[in-house]
Structure formats: C-alpha cells, structure tokens
Amino acid sequence: MDRREFLASTLAFGATSLTGCANPSVPPLPPGALYGASLDLGHRLREPNFPLPSETRHVPVAIVGAGIGGLAAGWKLAKTGFADFLMVELEAEAGGNSRAGRNSVSAYPWGAHYLPLPTREATAVRELLAELGVLQGDPRASQPRYDERYLCSTPQERLYRNGMWQEGVLPQAGVSAAEREQYRRFYALMEAFKLRRDQDGRRAFALPMALSSRAPDLLALDTLTMRDWLLEQHLDSPHLHWYVDYACRDDFGTGVGSVSAWAGIYYFASRNGEALDAASDTVLTAPDGNAWLARGMAQSITKRVGDRLLSGALAFRVADTGKQIEVDLWLASEQRTLRLVADQLIWAAPLFLLPHVLVGHEALKAAACSYSYAPWLVANLTLSRFPEDRTGAPPAWDNVLYSGPGLGYVVATHQQMRQRPAATVFTYYRALNEMTPQQGRKLLLETPREDWAERILSELERPHPDIRQVTTRLDVFRNGHAMVRPLPGMLWGDARERFANDGVRIRFAHADASGFSLFEEAQYRGVLAAERTLRRLGVKFKSSLV
C-alpha cells in the first residue's frame, strides 16, 4: 500500500463513520488449507538417522526427482524403448513446480503456468508438443500451427495502475515522452540481442541457454546486475525499471537489483518462437498451468514402458562405489529403507539437496552450496463469481498489480470454451524477493495461512472491492526453495558448468543445471541427461536435441 492509498483508506473509513452509514461487516476469512513441499520429510535430511536398508534392488538407471527434468529424462528413455529405469519422487505425485490442483470449479496451477511459443532450438519441447497433439504438423517448422485451445485467449495480460486497468503490463497512461523513448530504446536493444548470432551461428541468448553464444562481451553481462546494466545503457525510467523488475521476479523470483544482467536480457531476448495461428508473444497455457505438460510426459512413459514412478520416497544417501551408485530411499509410508543399486544415476532433484545426500564428490557439493534459491508463495482463490472490477481493460488471463507485493493473478478458467464462466479460480503469485531468501523461508515457515489470506485479500481488494464476498476458499502453497536464483556470476561460472557437464555415472537433469527454473531448460537438461546415459550404456537412439 503506498501513501496515497493509505490516505484514501483512512479517509474512506472516516467518511463512512461521518455519514453514519454502517460499515458493512467484513466477511470472515474464507476457509482453506496450507500446503507446501514435504517439509517435515525433507528437513529430516538435516539430521539423517534412517534405518539400514531392508531391501536392495538393482536398477540400471535411477532417476531421482520427477519434476520436469526427471520426467523428461524418463520420457526420452521410454521413447528410445529403454525400460530399465526407475523414477523416485519425494512428493506424492510427479510434476515438481508444474503440479496442479482441481476442484469442482476448475483445475488450477500450483506453480508454473505457461510456456512461451517454443524457439527453433527448443527441439525437444517441440517434439513433446507434437506428441501431445498441441503442435500440429512438422515440429521443426519455423511457424508451426498450434491447437488454439492452448494458445492463450485474448486478452492475455493487463495492468492495474492508478485505479484503473490497462491492456498489457508495460505502464502506459501518464508516462512521459522521455520515458517512452527509453521504452523504445530498450526494445530496440532487446531486438538486436534477439537477432544477434556468432560466427558459429549460435544466438546471443538461446533457449535452452546451453546453446547460446559464448562471445566474451555477452558472457561479461553475467558479471553485473540487470539494474546496473540498464543504468549503464542510460535507461533510468522508473516505469521501465518496474517492468523489468516485474519480469525478473515473475520468472526468476529475484528482482532487477539482484538478478544477473545476462538473465534479465535472456528473459526478453531468448524467446522468439512463432506460430502460424498466433502472434509471437502468445503463450501456451491451460487451466492447470503447465501440469498438462508434466502429465503428458508421465502418460507417454506409462504407455511405452509401464509405470516407472516410485513416489513418497526420500533419497537420503547417494554413494558412488566406483562401479555403481547406491541410492538409499526412505519410504515414509512403509517406514523402511530401500537401497537402489544403479549403474547410472540421473539426479533430477534440486541441487541444494545434494550436499545433504551425496557421499564424497566434495567439489560437486561445494558447487551446489553456491546456489541460491528463491522462496515463493502461491495461493488459489476459489470465487463464486467474477469479482467487481475497476474501470479500464476487461479481465485478462494474467492480471498484474502495479507496485504490489505480489505478481498478480492468473485466471484458471480463462481458456474455458464458454462465454462467461460463473465461478472461477484465481491463482495468486508472490516471490518473496524483498528480503533475503533465508528471511523469506523463515517467514513462510512462521506465517499462518490466515495471515497470508488477509494480506492477499487486502491486496486484491484494490482492483476488486468485493473480493472478500466472492472468495469461497483460499488455499496457500509455500515453497521455500521454489527456484534457483540467476545471480551475477552464477550462469557462466564454474559451479553451474560442473552440473552441465557429463559424468561417468552421475549426471544432472534439473533446471538448476541451466540456472533458470523454466520448462524448456528443465526439459532440455532431462533429455540431455537421458541421451548421455544411453550413449554411456551403448544404447542406440535418435537425438531429440539436434
């Protein structure tokens, strides 16, 4: 709440008592639940005191973690016809940050909620979308046709600022000509980065990032923050800085003042996917966010090689014996330890877990310790109807509040084929980037759901005065280590390279190996790890990455 709104709210209160109108009673907070990554189980890694294995099972390939990276690895193995693998997952279900919930109104995301039109180099993403029937025709076409049910309906996004909604997220009304000139210059710079290629034909900022140019002047962008880079370019427009900050918080959970300039520019310059039937800034989305992509890979695996998922299993010890890898799993529901003995391990869980689990490999563990993670909060508000709206642009899929603590909300029913849905679900996002990640995690641990509910409702009350009256349920999901933070030096430093490189028996298939928690990056790492594993095992396969 800024000063102006504070003043307005005090005065509004004063006025209601002045005119003698009864202050309409504030409805009680809606019911709901507090969810989160399996904290208790996960935190047991801090003092591991698990019993000795009661069973030992041999499996040629073990995949630890069944988020997008793990599922992509399993998907590639299964597509190759290689069935001898097992995916283990701490949570009850696969999907990682792309999980979703569902109630009688709609499915709704608990994390990632869109996929930009894939770039030319995101070949594995295109292959998957073609398999799922969403990309129609040649998956390598420069402008494929996409199933319109997944192309985000118009209007895609809007911004609430100064009491009204505008189309698009870049602030427009009342922005001076000088600032608009900076907008123009910023976009021209990004356009130049989009088009730039090196002698080897690599794009300056490719998606997946591993395929980017290594030109020194580009890699040097990883040594300063995005804010410093903007200022270096004489871009100091406050509205532009807000917008870039918003973009960085939205994708990296980290603000413009902390994020690496390489990451900030990558956000704007890497996405150049096109479609025959949509503008290039259209995104692919569904009511359940990105869960359909995770489910699509899981179903593809099951269809080809059967169920290969062991869920509710905490990997608490990984040891390289020099010939094989031992993975000790705590099966919480059975209260016993299972030892997997694998020829090859694909680690597809977040890297911050590695130091707690891995025996030896001190250099890898030290590298993992240099990673920083952003804490996030996601809430799903079930609404009996669309709330009252302030004037301006009509409801969009992504609805952003200028200068708010949150990142706004996404409407789960936006893609529904109906004129105007009665009930709906709003998915509210907030990156806790205004404090250190440690403070953010502490806040997440200590804050009860009711406090979050109150804060979220009072934030959304600004554009939607009757949000409290129509919210029938408010569930909160807290994620202390939601995503890796691409801080300066992290993307093109040695630590990350260690996880991007191939290993003899262990390789990494998590988005952390790219430094970005993005679907395309996670899937690329998963497919790459699977292909490296197949190559090591001497299994013939057709690469998805060339």
Partner 1 sequence: MNHALLFSVFVVASCGLAYELIAGALSSYLLGDSITQFSTVIGCYLFAMGIGSWLSRYVERNLVARFIQIELMVGVLGGFSAAGLFFIFVWFSSPFKLALYLAVFGIGVLVGLEIPLIMRILKRDLAFKDLVSQVLTFDYLGALAVSILFPLLLVPHLGLVRSGLLFGLLNVLVALWALWLFREQLQHAGWLRAQGLFSMLVLAAGFAAAGHFTSLAEAHLYADEIVHAESTPYQRIVITRWKDDLRLHLNNNLQFSSRDEYRYHEALVHPGLSTLPGARRVLVLGGGDGLAIREILKYPQIESVTLVDLDPAMTQLFSTAPQLRVLNVDALASPKVKVVNADALLWLENNDDVFDFVVVDFPDPSNFAIGKLYSAAFYRLLEKHLNAGALAVIQSTSPLYARQSFWCVVTTLESVGLVTTPYHALVPSFGEWGFVLAGRRAYQPPAAYTVDTRFLTPEITPTLFQFPKDMARVDAEVNRLNNQVLVRYFEREWRQVIR
Query: 119, 142 in Cβ contact below 8 A?
Result: no
Query: 120, 197 in Cβ contact below 8 A?
Result: no
107 near partner 1 (CB under 8 A): no
Residues of this chain, 377-396, that bind partner 1 according to CB under 8 A:
394
3-state secondary structure (DSSP) of residue 196: coil
Conformation bin of residue 7: beta by default, left when phi > 0, alpha when psi is -120 to 50: alpha
- The residue among 93 and 148 lying less far from partner 1, judged by its C-beta, is 148
3-state secondary structure (DSSP) of residue 337: strand
- The residue among 303 and 418 lying less far from partner 1, judged by its C-beta, is 418
- The residue among 16 and 176 lying less far from partner 1, judged by its C-beta, is 16
Window contacting partner 1 (CB under 8 A); options: 91-99, 363-371, 415-423, 427-435? 415-423
Q: How is 170-193 classified by DSSP, letter by letter?
A: S--TT--HHHHHHHHHHHHHHHHH
- The residue among 148 and 450 lying less far from partner 1, judged by its C-beta, is 148
Q: How many CB atoms lie within 10 A of CB 14?
A: 10
Q: Which of 215, 236, 229 is nearest to 263 (CA)?
A: 229
In the complex, minimum distance from the CB of residue 290 to partner 1, in angstroms, rounded to a whole number? 18
Q: Which of 39, 286, 250 is nearest to 151 (CA)?
A: 286
- The residue among 462 and 481 lying less far from partner 1, judged by its C-beta, is 462
In the complex, minimum distance from the CB of residue 16 to partner 1, in angstroms, rounded to a whole number? 8
104 near partner 1 (CB under 8 A): no
Window contacting partner 1 (CB under 8 A); options: 28-36, 154-162, 335-343, 490-498? 154-162
Window contacting partner 1 (CB under 8 A); options: 353-361, 375-383, 414-422, 454-462? 414-422
In the complex, minimum distance from the CB of residue 149 to partner 1, in angstroms, rounded to a whole number? 7
CA 374 to chain centre: 11
In the complex, minimum distance from the CB of residue 417 to partner 1, in angstroms, rounded to a whole number? 5
In the complex, minimum distance from the CB of residue 168 to partner 1, in angstroms, rounded to a whole number? 14
Number of residues that bind partner 1 (CB under 8 A): 23
- The residue among 46 and 418 lying less far from partner 1, judged by its C-beta, is 418
152 near partner 1 (CB under 8 A): yes
Contact residues for 352 (Cβ-Cβ < 8 A; gap 6+): 368, 371, 373, 481
Window contacting partner 1 (CB under 8 A); options: 12-20, 254-262, 341-349, 359-367? 12-20
278 near partner 1 (CB under 8 A): yes
| Cα distance between residue 426 and residue 364, in whole Å | 40
Window contacting partner 1 (CB under 8 A); options: 10-18, 171-179, 305-313, 327-335? 10-18
* Pairing of the two strands 336-347 and 506-508: parallel
254 near partner 1 (CB under 8 A): no
Q: For partner 1, what does the binding mask look like between residues 303 and 332, x meaning CB under 8 A?
A: ------------------------------
3-state secondary structure (DSSP) of residue 380: strand
42 near partner 1 (CB under 8 A): no
On the 0-12 / 13-18 / 19+ scale of CB atoms within 10 A, 394 is exposed
| Cα distance between residue 154 and residue 208, in whole Å | 27
274 near partner 1 (CB under 8 A): no
148 near partner 1 (CB under 8 A): yes
Q: Out of 45, 73, 86, 151, which residue is the one contacting partner 1 (CB under 8 A)?
A: 151
CA 245 to chain centre: 16
345 near partner 1 (CB under 8 A): no
341 near partner 1 (CB under 8 A): no
| Cα distance between residue 517 and residue 106, in whole Å | 26
- Give the Å distances, CA to CA, from 491 to 137, 216, 223, 383, 499: 35, 13, 9, 41, 11
33 near partner 1 (CB under 8 A): no
Enter the DSSP assignment of 222: G
Q: Out of 6, 11, 192, 445, which residue is the one contacting partner 1 (CB under 8 A)?
A: 11
In the complex, minimum distance from the CB of residue 117 to partner 1, in angstroms, rounded to a whole number? 11
In the complex, minimum distance from the CB of residue 157 to partner 1, in angstroms, rounded to a whole number? 12
**What's the helix, strand, coil split of the chain in %, to 5?**
35, 25, 40
Window contacting partner 1 (CB under 8 A); options: 7-15, 69-77, 211-219, 295-303? 7-15
Query: 150, 288 in Cβ contact below 8 A?
Result: no
Question: Where do contacts with partner 1 occur on this chain (CB under 8 A)?
Answer: 7-8, 11-12, 15, 19, 148-149, 151-156, 277-279, 282, 394, 417-420
